[in-house]
Amino acid sequence: MYRSIGALLVVLLVLVSCSNPNPNQIDYNITVTHKDSIDQLKVEMKFMPSQDGITILEYPNSAWGQEELHNAIKEMALEKVSGTIEVNKDSGWIVLNHPENLKELHFRYVLQQDFEKPITSRKTYRPIIQPTYFHLFSHNLFMVPKSAGESLDLVINWNGLGPKDVIQNSFGSQQKTQHLKTLPKQEFLEAIFVGGDFEVNAIPIKDNTVYLATRGEWVPFTVGDMKAILKETIIAQRDFWNDHTQEYFTVTMQPIYTPNGSSYQGTGITNSFATSFSNNEFMEVEQMVHLFNHELMHNWIGSIIKNENEEEQYWFSEGFTEYYAFKNIAKNNINEAGSTHFINEMNSIIRKLYNSPVFLAPNSEINYENFWASRDYANLPYYRGAVFAFYLDLEIRRLTDGEKSLDVVMHQILEDAREKDQKLNHDYFLSVMKPILGEQFQEFFNKHIENGEPLPLGDLFNKLAVDFSPQSDVFELGFTFNEEHKVISNVIEGSTAYMAGIRNGDKVISSNIWYGDIERNAEIGIERNGSTQNFSFLPVKKGPVPQIQNTDENLTKLGF
């Protein structure tokens, strides 16, 4: 009798469990399909809806500098029940009105690329759905019920793929069915999903695996180059942080169209980073080295060490990441770049900072709107933060006779982020720095980070006994383009552009400009009075911008 009652209780518990579905579970069934010769992704969802009959699905209309993302949604429908669908673009919501007290809701939507070819750097953060491949970030692929909470149980199935097609994402390689348990929603929404004609290479690193997913034939470098540099970078960075715990990591490389010059960008996200490179002769291996080292550093700075207010701490999450990218490359001689690389990169970033049109902008102006709308504001926290990190590194070395460096601070910040879930904010950063640099550091920080006043590098370099030159050539294009980038205006008399012959009103036919680079000629093709002309000039001027000298004494002070 005892055993029979026990068995009955087990059965009842199972029945109760089955009758109460998991409100955090979402099943996605995704099918690669074609309609009227147009490539699409059909997404079918199954989940527990809100019991009051109103379920909100989150799908941002604006994200990562992109607007009108809802344009990619071509169909939406409730299945098996009657109801209505409302779209609230301002909130980034899809509102489903359905019967109350449902245990399960079926919903379907279709995504389609909302722009014409070519794929350029400005389009890579939109859903890309092509005949032979797709490339999407999870926030513009998956709708997520607001009621599901902050920890999700997910099942993702892929259908409609060819026998040779690849599936690669932030959570697995070549898995057409994935079960993701207790996954934080934020990690899910900051992920990359690609598929189709990608080539996937597995790179073993100290009992863990990194996957490199690329598309097509590359002009500037081979897949072998990419694998070698990626492996060097990951080993060096994981050794720096004493962290080889990440069993899975994926890197995607998508070729983009750039008619003149080169362009490259990357985004560090959950268990992965996604990159885009110009696939032409202007792209150089050194640019790939820099991007890999910057973006992979976000595995720690930005992923584990999180900003409390995203843009407000970009001086740290982007600027300190930039500094440690330079340092990592040089310290580990990645791609045979050594200490000279570090000196050259720091001098370059000092020039870019002190020549920026928004050089004096306070930190409060580095906000979402400015960062995504303006190249100058987007670059400012990289430059300002990297130069600030460089100074702090030197100052800590000076005060401790070389026994400590900024590395000690970074390891403490990482430990606090892991052990205490500490977010990076200004008060916390000051609390870490004051025991090393004293109470007066708060005034220094407020002046040069909060208020944006320039560091007096000449005076600081003198205090630090760093050999430097007091002035240098700095980048000056010498004119501006109109908004459409088709006409030249505001040519500066006496500039190298003016002396080369460029004038206001010239119509732009072609341009190849390495912004911030004082060693490469700018190439401009124009039309004037019915005839075409080509100009080549070095876009520089002299400026009172200090530059570090490449001496043995300096390299010793820098820890090389």
| Concatenated DSSP letters of 402-471 | TS--HHHHHHHHHHHHHHH---B-HHHHHHHHHHHH-TTHHHHHIIIIIS-PPP-HHHHHHHTT--EES-
The pLDDT value recorded for residue 284 is: 86
> Which CB contacts under 8 angstroms, 24+ apart, belong to 393-402?
393/323, 393/558, 393/559, 394/464, 394/466, 394/557, 394/558, 395/437, 395/464, 396/436, 396/437, 397/557, 397/558, 397/559, 398/464, 398/465, 398/557, 399/436, 399/437, 402/557, 402/559
Domain boundaries, the chain: 311-467+551-557, 472-543
Q: How is 339-407 classified by DSSP, letter by letter? A: HHHHHHHHHHHHHHHHT-TTTT--GGG--HHHHHH-HHHHHHHHHHHHHHHHHHHHHHHHHTTTS--HH
The rounded distance, in Å, linking the Cα atoms of 277 and 262 is 8
pTM for the model stands at 0.78
The pLDDT value recorded for residue 9 is: 40
The pLDDT value recorded for residue 482 is: 87
The rounded distance, in Å, linking the Cα atoms of 48 and 25 is 7
Phi and psi at residue 53, in whole multiples of 5°? 90, 5
The C-alpha R_g of the chain, in whole angstroms, comes to: 27
Angle (deg, nearest 10), helices 406-420 and 375-399: 110
The pLDDT value recorded for residue 129 is: 97
- Is residue 198 a contact partner of residue 133, using CB atoms and an 8 Å limit? yes
Q: Does residue 118 have a cis bond before it (omega within 30 degrees)?
A: yes
* 472-543: CATH number: 2.30.42.10
The 3-state DSSP composition of the chain as helix, strand, coil percent (nearest 5) reads 35, 30, 35
Query: Which pLDDT tens digit goes with each residue over 118-172?
Result: 898 889 999 999 999 999 999 999 999 999 989 999 999 999 999 999 999 999 9
The rounded distance, in Å, linking the Cα atoms of 288 and 337 is 13
Helices (H) and strands (E) in the chain, counts: 15, 29
Query: Which pLDDT tens digit goes with each residue over 436-446?
Result: 999 999 999 99
CA distances to 73, 477, 538 from 494, rounded to whole Å, are: 52, 12, 13
Residues 6+ apart with CB under 8 A from 419: none
Mean pLDDT of successive 10-residue stretches along the chain, which has 560 residues: 41 42 90 90 97 97 94 96 96 96 97 92 93 96 94 96 94 96 94 96 93 92 91 95 93 88 86 90 88 91 93 97 95 90 94 90 95 92 97 95 94 97 97 96 97 95 93 90 88 95 94 84 93 94 91 87
What per-residue string of b and e applies to 57-84 under the rule 16 or more CB within 10 Å gives b?
Answer: bbbbbebeebeebbebbeebebeeeebe
Topology classification of domain 311-467+551-557: Neutral Protease; domain 2 (1.10.390)
The pLDDT value recorded for residue 259 is: 79
The pLDDT value recorded for residue 519 is: 83
Residue 552 is classified by DSSP as H
